[in-house]
A and B are shown apart, each in its own frame.
Chain A
C-alpha cells in the first residue's frame, strides 16, 4: 500500500519537532528513515501508526485519508525498538494478541500463528515467555506479532539496535527476506547507515525534522546532496578538506596547495569558501593527483587497513587499502586523489 505524508508538522508543547515534511512511499517498497539521534525518526513513525496525532498535514494510505483514524483501525504492524513484548504472555499469546482483540476464532488464530511462526522460524518457542528468549528470538516474535494480521504497512523502529553484531547481520537479511516474501510496504527507522543501505530500496535521510535527501542507497552514497549526507553515509567516513576557490581551482586553507575541481561542476566566485569530500577508497597511492602528508594513524581491520594522513595544513585525509601495503606510522607519503570522484560542496554545504 502506498503511503503519502503531506506537509506533516508535529510539535510537543512549544517545541516543533517536525515541520512541513512530505514523503511518498511506494507500494511494496522498503524505505529507511535514517538520521542522527533526536532528528524525529520515531516521531514520524508514530505519526504513521497513529500513536501521535499530526498537528498539521495529511496522511494517506493508498487513496484513504487516515489522518484522523485511530491506531486500532489503521492496520499497521509495528516492531518497537525494545520489541515491547508483553511479559505476562507466552510467545504464542503475544503473537495471537492482535487476532484476540479482533475476536477471531480459536482455530483461525491457531492456524495463523503456526503459519507466521514458521515464516519467522520460531515454531518451537511458542510456549516460552519473552524473558526466556534471546534478543534475536524476541526480535522474531515481535516481527511475527506485527505481521500476523496481514497489515498493510510494516513499521520497524530500530529493530536491530539491541542485537550483537553477528545477530544483526543475520536479522538484516532475515527481515528483508520476510518483507520481500510478504510484499508489504515497510518503513525502517534506523541511525545505522549500513542497515539502511543494505536493507532498503530507498533511504530518506533526516536531519532536525527535515528530509534532506530521498534516494536509493547507491545514489545517496555516490551523489549526496550535501556535506551532511556525505558525512553520514560511508564507513569509514568521508574526509573533508576546507578551502577557497582560487584561480578556478581549490586552494586548501592555510596552504599553497591547489587542487583542480572535478569536471562538470559550477565553480563559485573567486575567493568563495568551498569544501572537498574525499572518500577513503578514492585516496590511494596509485592515483595521479598527489597530495603529500604524513601517516598519523593506522588501524588494521583484518582484510583492510585504514590510514589517516595529515596534510601539511593539518587537514586529515583517510585511505582504505588492502592489507600488506605496510605503511608505518609517521611515514611521509604522497598519495593521490581520484579527481572525478571528489565531492565538492559550496559555502551552504550543498553539493555543487
Chain B
C-alpha cells in the first residue's frame, strides 16, 4: 500500500474505530438479535435447563404426550452408591451394607415400595419414621435441578430410568431451556400482533402529515420573512428557530402545559363555557393534531433556514426583473422563487422522510402513543416492545426485529437518495498526489 494511502487511513482511523464499534457492530447485532427470542425472561447471557412445575406445563402446552410429562414429574427411588453412603452415615454401616448387598441397582416407583422392601431387612431402623427418612435418601428426581447443558439434563433423565424417544428428547430440551435461543419466529410474531397494521398505517400518516406541515410551514416562513424588513424578519426567525434547539423535553413540556386540563387552553376556553380537559389526550384526533404540530414546527425550523438561505441566493436582479415584467407578489413566488427551491424542497423531503420514519422522541414525550395506541408509530412500537413497556417483559428479540425493518427501509432509501443527489459530484479527486 502506498504511503499516501496510509496517511489517509490513519486520519480516518479514529472515526472508523468509533463507527465500527457503535454503528456496524450494533447493526449486525440488531440483525442477530432479531433472530433470537431474547427478553427479560430469558436474560441476555446464557440460560439453563430445569424441569419444574412451570416448565412441565410449558412442555404439555408444546404438545408432549401426557404420560411423558407425568413420568418426568414423578419421583423415583433408586438404590445406588450415593444413597448407600448417605444411609451409612445416618443409620450405620450394617444397614448400609445390607441394603447394598441385597438391593443395589433396584428401582422403585414410589416410596411405599421401597419402605416395604426395607422392612424385610434385618438391620433396618426401628421406627417407621426412620424407615421413611431412610427411603428419602434414595429419592432420585430431575425436578428443580439446574443443568447447565442439555446433555446433563438428558443424562440425568435417563439415569432416572425415563426412556425418551429422540423426538421427545428434542422437545424437552427446547421447551424447558430458560435462556434465549435462535429463532425466526419474530417476523411471524410481528405479523400476528393485532395492531401492527394500524401502527404501520400510523407511521405513514405521521410521516406524510408531519412532512407536509413542516415543508409547508417552512416555505411559508422562509418566504414571508424574506419579504419583511430585516429586523422584523430576524425576530420571527428567532421565534421559529428556537423549537429546533430547545431540548425536546422542554419543548414538549410547553405543549403539555398548553393542553393540560388545568393548562392554558382549558383556562382560556373555560371563559366560553367549555369544560376543562386534557386537550392532547382526550381524543385520537386531538392527539394527532398535537403530534403533527409539535413535530411539524420543529421540522419547519429546519425548512425555514434551508429555504431561507436558498431564497437569499437568488440574485436580486432576477426578482427585480420579474417585478418590472409585471409579476405580482404571488406570481413572483409562484414563477420565480418556488421553481428555484426545487432542490432544497426535495432534499428536505428526502432527509425528513427518513428521520421521521425513525424518530419518536417527541411522540414518546407527548402522547407516548396514546390515547389507546392512536398515535403509536413503528419506531415507538419497537422502543416499547424492547425497552419500555408496562408489562415489564422487555422483548429484545422482537423489538430488534421491528427495528430491523427500519434499518432495511433506511438503507434502501439512502441508496436511492445517493442516486438522486448525484453522489459523484461529492467525491472530488485529490489534487495533491502524495
Q: Is the interface of B mostly helix, strand, loop or mixed?
A: helix
Binds A, one of B240-248, B319-327, B407-415: B319-327
Given contacts A72-B326, A72-B327, A82-B315, whether A101 and B321 have CB atoms under 8 Å apart is no
- Contact indicator A84/B327 (Cβ below 8 Å): no
Task: Collect the chain B residues with CB atoms within 8 Å of residue A88's CB.
Answer: 339-340, 342
Tell me the B310-365 residues at the A interface (CB within 8 Å): 315, 317-318, 320-328, 331, 335-336, 339-340, 342
Q: Is A102 in contact with chain B by the CB < 8 A criterion?
A: yes
Q: A189: which B residues are within 8 A, CB to CB?
A: none
Contact in complex: A80, B322 (CB < 8 Å): no
Q: Are B323 and A80 in contact (CB under 8 A)?
A: no
Residues in A neighbouring B317, C-beta threshold 8 A:
80-82, 84
Q: Are B320 and A101 in contact (CB under 8 A)?
A: no
- Chain A, 38-79, CB within 8 A of any chain B CB: 46, 49-51, 70-74, 76-78
In the bound complex, residues from chain A placing their C-beta under 8 Å from that of B331 are: 101
Interface size for B (C-beta < 8 A) is: 18
| Complex Cα spacing A105 to B323, Å | 21
Q: How far is the CA of A49 from the CA of B321 in the complex (A)?
A: 10
Range of interface residues on A (Cβ < 8 Å): 20 to 34
Bound state CA distance, A78 and B326, in angstroms? 11
Q: What residues on A are CB-neighbors of B327 within 8 Å?
A: 72, 97, 101
**Is the CB of A8 closer than 8 A to any CB of chain B?**
no
Contact A84 B320 (CB under 8 A): yes
Note all chain A residues with C-beta closer than 8 A to B325. Answer: 97-98, 101, 145, 149
A81-B317, A82-B315, A86-B318 are known contacts. Are A76 and B324 too (CB-CB below 8 A)? yes
Chain B CB within 8 A of A302 CB: no
Q: Is the CB–CB distance between A50 and B339 below 8 Å?
A: no
Contact B323 A72 (CB under 8 A): yes
The answer to whether B336 touches A86 (Cβ under 8 A) is yes
**Most-contacted residue by chain A among B320, B328, B339 (CB, 10 A):** B320
Any B CB within 8 A of the CB of A264: no
Mark out the residues of chain B between 13 and 69 whose CB falls within 8 Å of any chain A CB in the assembled complex.
none
Interface string of A96-123 (1 = CB under 8 A from B): 0110111000000000000000000000
| Chain B nearest CB, measured from A302 CB (Å) | 37
The 0/1 profile, CB within 8 Å of A marked 1, for residues 99-125 of chain B is 000000000000000000000000000
Q: Which residues of A contact B339 (CB under 8 A)?
A: 86, 88-89
B residues in contact with A77, CB < 8 Å: 324
Interface centre among A71, A74, A77, A145 (most CB of B within 10 A): A71
**Are B320 and A46 in contact, with the CB atoms below 8 A?**
yes
Q: Which of A72, A78, A80, A82 is the one whose CB lies under 8 Å from B328?
A: A72
CB distance from B322 to the nearest CB of A (A): 7
**CA–CA, A88 and B318, complex, Å:** 12
Alpha-carbon separation in the docked complex, A71 to B327 (Å): 9
Roughly how many angstroms separate A233 CA and B315 CA in the complex, as a whole number? Answer: 32
Given A84-B318, A88-B340, residue A71 in contact with residue B335 (CB < 8 A): no
A50–B315 alpha-carbon span in the complex (Å): 18
Q: Which residues of A contact B (CB under 8 A)?
A: 46, 49-51, 70-74, 76-78, 80-82, 84-89, 97-98, 100-102, 145, 149
